[in-house]
Structure formats: C-alpha cells, structure tokens
Amino acid sequence: MATTAARAALDLVLPPRCLGCGDRVASQGELCARCWTGLRWIEEPCCACCGRPFEHEIEPGAQCGACMAEPPSYDRARAAFAYDPQSRGLVLGFKHGDRLETAEFLAGTLARAGRRLLVEADTIAPVPLHRLRLWWRTYNQAAVLSAMLARRFAKPHAAQAIRRRRHTRSQGRLSSAERRANLRGAFVVPERARQELRGRRVLLIDDVMTTGATVEACAKALLGAGAGAVDVLTAARVLRADSPSL
Ligand SMILES: [Zn+2]
Ligand SMILES: [Zn+2]
C-alpha cells in the first residue's frame, strides 16, 4: 500500500515514459503500444546453432547454410528480438526513464527467449565493454543484464571472465571478414578467472549481436581458456539482408 502510494506520488512528479520512445505510458518500465507492436520477436523455427530465423518450417536441429559452411565456436546463440529502427530506441535509449527499468525489461525478454540456455548454463558472463567506449555508453549494459539473469536463475556470475585486451577499431563499417580480423586476439580470459570456467558451460550475455564476430571472438577466448562449451544470449540481433543467407 505504502509502495503503491509512493509510486503514485512519484508518477505525479516523474510521469512514466515509454522505454523506447519516451512517450507517456500508464506505468513505469513499459513500452507504449506502438513500440511494443513494432518489436520483431525472434521465434522458432530458427537455426539450431546461430538462432537465425527460418522463413519456413524445418526439421528440428537443422542449421543454416552459414553455420554449416563455417561452424561458430559457440554451440547456440539466441536473441529475443530484431535490432532495427523500431527496437533501437529501447536498446540504446537510456535518455528515457530509468536505466534500471530498461535493463529489467531487457532481462525479462532474455529470460523468455533464452530460458533453456539459462537453465543449462553453469556460469553466466558478460561481453566486456572497452574502456574507450565508455564515453558514450557510460556503463556495461551486458554486465548489468548478466548480473540480473545470474541472480534470477541462481547461477554463478563471472563478471570478469573476459577482458578486452586492446582497443579494436569501430566495427561499424567493416565486412564480417574484417570484423573477425579486427577482433582476433582482442579478448583474453585473465588467469584468475580460468579456474571457475574450467569445463563449464558458459552463457555469454550481450545487448546486441550484429555479425556475431564479437561473440565468436569471446567464445574462442573462453574455450581456449578451458571452458567446456559456450552459448550466447542477446536481447537484440541484427537480421540484415546482407548477412549470410540460408
Ligand atoms: Zn514508445
Ligand atoms: Zn546458423
């Protein structure tokens, strides 16, 4: 009752805003109807490995052409929704509302999309954020999400499992081959983290997956450091026409 009253009082001072576009909504931590219906949820059927959605029903366990041609180091990657102009505001939009509320909302989408991966994980770890990127993203959203999920699923959280060794060029305009070259050797698993990862199934968390080059490089570093297997779970995923086709 007290909480409800406090919330109502707070809503008078700070009216609830959509986590995506900043429009007024009924209560805190929500999307407006337009942003909600604009999200493209990623669902089955999808590639058993990278999670890329298939347009047609396929047999369970089938993989896309890209994964068959060049198997990723990770076992399975899954994402909750497509990263596109409709979801961009939600993923990057900490201007609107509370960052923690956005993180909680995103963690909820990850918990639904990646339930199986979360349940089967031994350890949960975030993709690290480079120091030099902190000027525009002032904190590591991946680490906030992975901490929330580790708590929710009662799993160990290896917050410092991976370190970015050097400043990589911005990935924005690079082809996927260039991205891989750019990221080669960019991630290391510190000596003190190796013990807790040995033989473990590690679930890597990030906010957005673009070409998959970053999670691939992180998965390689984890496996090289003795992890038993790596899965990947992201809130959003780029599904571009120019990414490898089926
Ligand atoms: Zn909105
Ligand atoms: Zn695939």
Ranges of each domain in the chain: 1-38, 41-237
With 60 as the cut, is the pLDDT of residue 123 above it?
yes
- Look at residue 56 in the predicted model and tell me its pLDDT: 82
What DSSP assignment string belongs to the chain?
-HHHHHHHHHHHHS--B-TTT--B-SSTT---HHHHHH--B--SSB-TTT-PBPSS---TT---HHHHHS--SSSEEEEEEE-SHHHHHHHH-TTSS-HHHHHHHHHHHHHHHTHHHHHH-SEEEEPP--GGGTTTS-S-HHHHHHHHHHHHTT--B-TTS-EE-SPPPP-TT--HHHHHHHHTT-EE--HHHHHHHBT-EEEEEEEEESSSHHHHHHHHHHHHTTBSEEEEEEEEE---TTS---
Ligand nearest to the CA of 39: 1
Position with higher pLDDT, 20 vs 123? 123
- Look at residue 210 in the predicted model and tell me its pLDDT: 87
| pLDDT tens-place string over residues 128-150 | 876 555 555 567 888 999 999 99
Ligand nearest to the CA of 21: 1
Ligand nearest to the CA of 93: 1
- Stretch 236-242: mean pLDDT, rounded? 78
| pLDDT tens-place string over residues 5-45 | 776 666 666 788 898 888 999 988 889 999 999 999 999 89
Average of per-residue pLDDT values in the chain? 86
CATH class as words, domain 41-237: alpha beta
**Distance from the CA of 12 to the center of ligand 2, in angstroms?**
48
CB atoms within 10 A of CB 193: 21
205 - beta bridge partners?
126, 233
- Look at residue 237 in the predicted model and tell me its pLDDT: 94
Q: What is the pTM for the complete model shown?
A: 0.85
